[in-house]
């Protein structure tokens, strides 16, 4: 994979530092470009033409059109087209996000700590971005997560999409991944047993092995 550029886009409530462990997993000849939405400081948008895009959860919705236009592979951890499922599960999900909006105004640090704990569960892990919370950006993106569905047409134009999802995900149910898979004829869905929502942090070696296998299959 010499000369390959991989763009890493974190999800809601995280920052680019969540990919730190990937530097120990990905070969040195692969260039990692880490985008940062700016939830805890200044945003950053790397310059390059990455062949592979890796997005965590809401990070799929943050991928810039210029990256999608040149990508050969898009990898999504815990992804979704619309965050809320249908039926009673969706009504419960909307109530939960409504409470998150309220807590973000009153106690953002505690909200984010609880959110990340649910992301890690049923596994263990801790992560705290070093910067101060940018409530306005978090609130804006939480509203997008709550109300908007992703336009899938740019994704369908990508040669291959790999969907990786933990079967114990407490943030985005597996059913959401299956629905996204059904909407993307160019996609492959892999369910990771025993894993939660924080796959990029808890299962980096296994996830990288999946990415490498799919990329080498494309190259062949």
User: What pLDDT, in 10s, does the model give residues 100-113?
Assistant: 999 999 999 999 99
pTM: 0.96
pLDDT over 90 (residue 1): no
Q: Is the dihedral of CA 118, 32, 29, 68 positive or negative?
A: positive
> Residue 6's pLDDT is what?
98
Q: Please choose, from the candidates 64, 96, 70, the residue with its C-alpha nearest in 3D space to the C-alpha of residue 83.
A: 96
pLDDT in tens, 46-64: 998 999 999 999 999 999 9
- Listed in sequence order, the residues at least 6 apart from 103 whose beta carbon sits closer than 8 Å to its beta carbon are 110, 111
Q: What pLDDT score was predicted for residue 220?
A: 63
Q: What is the pLDDT of residue 152?
A: 97
Distances (CA, A) of 18 to 9, 77, 84: 10, 13, 25
Under a CB-based contact definition with an 8 Å cutoff, are residues 67 and 50 in contact?
yes
Residues 6+ apart with CB under 8 A from 61: 144, 145, 148, 150
Domains of the chain: 5-86+127-219 (3.40.50.1820)
How confident is residue 120, by pLDDT bands cut at 50, 70 and 90? very high
Separation CA 219–CA 139 (nearest Å):
40
The pair phi, psi for residue 136, each rounded to 5°, is -65, -45
CB contact at 8 A, 73 and 214:
yes
Instruction: Output the six-digit token pair for 108.
Output: 């953002």
Q: Is the pLDDT of residue 82 over 90?
A: yes
Please tell me the distance from the alpha carbon of residue 37 to that of residue 188, in angstroms, as a whole number: 27
């Amino acid at each position: 994979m010499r000369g390959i550029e991989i763009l890493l886009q974190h999800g809601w409530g995280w920052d680019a530092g969540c990919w730190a462990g990937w530097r120990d997993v990905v070969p040195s000849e692969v260039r990692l470009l880490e985008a940062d939405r700016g939830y805890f400081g200044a945003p950053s948008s790397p310059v390059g033409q990455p062949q592979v895009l890796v997005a965590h959860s809401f990070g799929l919705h943050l991928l810039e059109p210029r990256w999608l236009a040149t990508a050969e592979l898009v990898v999504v951890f815990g992804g979704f087209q619309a965050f809320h499922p249908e039926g009673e599960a969706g009504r419960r999900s909307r109530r939960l996000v409504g409470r998150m909006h309220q807590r973000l105004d009153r106690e953002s640090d505690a909200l984010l700590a609880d959110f990340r704990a649910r992301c890690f569960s049923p596994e263990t892990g801790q992560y705290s971005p070093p910067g101060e919370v940018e409530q306005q950006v978090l609130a804006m993106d939480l509203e997008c997560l709550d109300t908007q569905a992703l336009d899938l047409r740019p994704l369908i134009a990508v040669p291959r999409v790999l969907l990786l999802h933990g079967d114990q995900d407490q943030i985005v149910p597996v059913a959401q991944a299956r629905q996204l898979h059904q909407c993307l004829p160019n996609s492959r869905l892999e369910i990771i047993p025993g894993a939660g929502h924080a796959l990029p942090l808890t299962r980096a070696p296994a996830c990288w092995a999946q990415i490498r296998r799919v990329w080498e299959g494309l190259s062949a």
